[in-house]
């Protein structure tokens, strides 16, 4: 205890000495600048006066040349008779030319000389007609004010100016904090009442919450773990796609544990000055130790935690910051209750030393929610939303497969805004469905005017997708809605597929069925109009990507078998991948992909040829209504009247 106090006192003394030295350096520079200014003023004054030897001054007095003399203990300032006459003549000439010329504005040249101990000078000046001589009557306080104005005030002004300059540079150069404040952490400290978030506000992440509940229990009951000799991990790394709720989970842990919450972004550590980031890391852990138990949350830790390789050139500032973070993770005592949480969506770029046991050795995946998780998330976000009686959140959860928590929050908010725009007091099911379509396709583009031929092309294209999906075995992707109304994100129409059940595995036949469905639009264009349009570009791109994954990533082709040809690079961002095979193999891969595309294209066209009458009937009904539901399409395929089918959601209002 005493040792800790001594260390704190030593640290405080060091900071005080640094501050004192900083202030002294400012004062010293101010004195130097003040002296330089006074020398400059003296030099300017010397240009207006001539310095004369005392012997010359005495000689001029004896020759009746001196007109006035102002006497001080340090110098005699005098003027000559001929200079005063010249000034008087110049004054009169100026007044003749300009009657309003001010009196006494013509300057008279002055001379100065250093006085000697000469008792005869005053009688000599009286004898030779010096009309004015003497000294000004000055009050004693005048000397004090003169000293303050000439010596003290310039120093004070210089100190103030330099302090302002330092603060201005601090604000422009990374928050250096002024003298002695370089590198101070900008962590925002949230106490339990300020977070306002608990596990009740986080839905769809039950597995992640279970992993974090142990941390909360340790903060509440540390003795239960120390008695048995257990040590809680110092750090936990939250990994997941953007919008899955990593930051929200960290705040919920602090809210559940009722402990202080330090939140800082990884980018706040990195500055242009080498060593500033490391200083901020030290300051952050020092402040956290004062209020332990507590939680430190570092968002986007990949900013400072990237692997320390030199392939792309080193960054001394970032590497020093990472080294300091590693040292702090090793240095603090976990029994004090300091828990470090970090979040990233690029775990593959993190330094291995950061992830080893004893540092961020617990990895918690915050994944996209499943059907039950999406339903629970929607229930959380609609707690404060007034819902109509027809709202079925389970259907919305089924429609939003693959969405993260942020997407669902945005969906609910857009639905509430739509209800207000239409003058309703509650959000209905149509508002939720329309807001979902707004997220995936954008708002309707009401100003777009399509020709009749374009409308027919788009109608057959969209019905081609829907009919191929409906006629395939097991109804892999049931159709929910078909529309030919243009939308702002470039879609002139779209077919909305809503899965009846959520699948976590895709079989080879499932993948082939999806490729056929994607190519159904192009097949309908070729079959009915004997042409090809640019509207299938996105379908072709997605079908080709799916076929490439089928061969290179899933190992489902006959040619390559279970051979992996790619590696995933950004799993939680864009899920991009790179080829890990030779160029000759890549060429064979492209050929295998082309064979799959050609096979699925032929099969999709065969489905449409066999059901040409159904294709024409559904397309005609779509041209009439512009937007129809999957139930209406299925009624036409069964030979029933589509008007009697459920058209809920077909025409937003």
Residue 33 near residue 89 (C-beta atoms within 8 A): no
CA distance 559 to 588: 9
Handedness of CA 486, 487, 493, 495 (dihedral sign): negative
Q: Are strands 66-71 and 76-80 parallel, antiparallel or unpaired?
A: antiparallel
Nearest to 405 by CA among 209, 151, 204: 204
On whether the CB atoms of residues 334 and 342 are closer than 8 A, the answer is no
Report whether 243 contacts 405 (CB < 8 A).
yes
Number of Cβ atoms within 10 Å of the Cβ of 108: 16
The token pair that represents 497 in the structure block: 């597929």
Beta strand pairing status for 494-497 and 479-483? antiparallel
Q: How many CB atoms lie within 10 A of CB 106?
A: 18
DSSP for 154-217, written as a single string:
HHHHHHHHHHHHHHHHHHHTT---STT-TT---PEEE-HHHH---GGG--S-HHHHHHHHHHHH
Beta carbons within 10 angstroms of residue 324's beta carbon: 20
Pairing of strands 66-71, 479-483: unpaired
Q: Which entry of 271, 300, 328, 462 is annotated as an active-site residue?
A: 462
Measured CA to CA, the distance from residue 153 to residue 140 in angstroms comes to: 19
462 is annotated as an active-site residue: yes
Q: Which residues are the active-site residues? A: 462
């Amino acid at each position: 205890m005493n040792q800790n106090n001594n260390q704190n006192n030593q640290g405080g003394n060091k900071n005080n000495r640094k501050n004192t030295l900083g202030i002294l350096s400012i004062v010293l520079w101010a004195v130097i600048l003040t002296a330089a200014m006074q020398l400059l003023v003296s030099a300017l004054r010397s240009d207006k006066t001539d310095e004369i030897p005392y012997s010359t001054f005495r000689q001029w007095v004896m020759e009746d040349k001196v007109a006035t003399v102002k006497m001080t203990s340090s110098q005699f300032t005098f003027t000559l008779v001929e200079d005063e006459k010249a000034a008087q003549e110049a004054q009169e000439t100026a007044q003749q030319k300009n009657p309003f010329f001010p009196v006494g504005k013509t300057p008279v040249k002055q001379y100065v000389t250093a006085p000697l101990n000469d008792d005869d000078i005053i009688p000599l000046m009286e004898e030779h007609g010096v009309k004015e001589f003497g000294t000004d009557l000055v009050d004693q306080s005048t000397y004090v004010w003169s000293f303050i104005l000439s010596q003290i005030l310039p120093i004070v002004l210089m100190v103030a100016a330099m302090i302002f300059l330092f603060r201005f540079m601090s604000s422009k150069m990374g928050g250096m904090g002024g003298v002695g404040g370089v590198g101070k952490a900008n962590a925002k400290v949230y106490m339990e009442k300020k977070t306002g978030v608990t596990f009740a506000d986080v839905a769809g992440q039950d597995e992640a919450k279970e992993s974090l509940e142990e941390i909360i229990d340790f903060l509440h009951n540390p003795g239960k773990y120390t008695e048995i000799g257990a040590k809680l991990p110092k750090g936990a790394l939250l990994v997941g796609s953007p919008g899955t709720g990593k930051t929200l989970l960290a705040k919920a842990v602090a809210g559940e544990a009722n402990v202080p919450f330090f939140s800082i972004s990884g980018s706040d550590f990195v500055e242009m000055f080498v060593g500033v980031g490391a200083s901020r890391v030290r300051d952050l852990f020092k402040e956290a130790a004062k209020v332990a138990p507590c939680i430190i949350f570092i968002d986007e830790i990949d900013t400072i935690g990237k692997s320390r390789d030199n392939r792309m050139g080193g960054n001394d500032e970032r590497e020093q910051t990472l080294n300091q973070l590693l040292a702090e993770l090793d240095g603090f005592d976990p029994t004090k209750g300091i828990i470090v949480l970090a979040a990233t969506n690029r775990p593959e770029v993190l330094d291995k030393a950061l992830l080893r046991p004893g540092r961020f050795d617990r990895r918690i995946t915050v994944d996209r929610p499943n059907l039950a998780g999406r339903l629970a998330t929607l229930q959380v976000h609609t707690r404060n939303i007034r819902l109509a009686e027809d709202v079925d959140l389970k259907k919305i959860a089924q429609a939003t497969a693959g969405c993260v928590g942020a997407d669902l929050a945005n969906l609910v908010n857009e639905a509430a805004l739509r209800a207000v725009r239409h003058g309703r007091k509650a959000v209905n099911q149509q508002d939720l469905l329309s807001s979902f379509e707004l997220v995936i396709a954008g708002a309707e583009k009401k100003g777009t005017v399509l020709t009749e031929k374009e409308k027919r092309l788009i109608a057959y294209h969209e019905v081609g997708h829907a009919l191929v999906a409906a006629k395939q075995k097991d109804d892999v992707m049931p159709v929910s809605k078909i529309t030919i109304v243009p939308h702002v994100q470039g879609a002139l129409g779209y077919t909305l597929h809503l899965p009846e059940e959520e699948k976590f595995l895709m079989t080879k036949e499932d993948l082939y069925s999806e490729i056929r469905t994607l190519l159904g639009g192009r097949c309908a264009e070729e079959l009915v109009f004997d042409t090809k349009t640019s509207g299938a570009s996105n379908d072709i791109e997605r079908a080709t990507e799916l076929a490439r994954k089928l061969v290179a990533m899933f190992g489902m082709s006959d040619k390559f078998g279970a051979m992996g040809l790619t590696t995933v690079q950004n799993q939680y961002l864009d899920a991009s991948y790179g080829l890990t095979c030779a160029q000759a193999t890549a060429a064979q891969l492209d050929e295998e992909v082309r064979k799959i595309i050609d096979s699925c294209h032929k099969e999709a066209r065969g489905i449409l040829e066999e059901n040409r009458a159904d294709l024409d009937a559904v397309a005609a009904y779509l041209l009439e209504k512009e937007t129809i539901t999957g139930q209406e399409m299925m009624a036409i395929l069964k030979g029933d009247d589509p008007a009697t089918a459920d058209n809920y959601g077909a025409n937003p209002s």
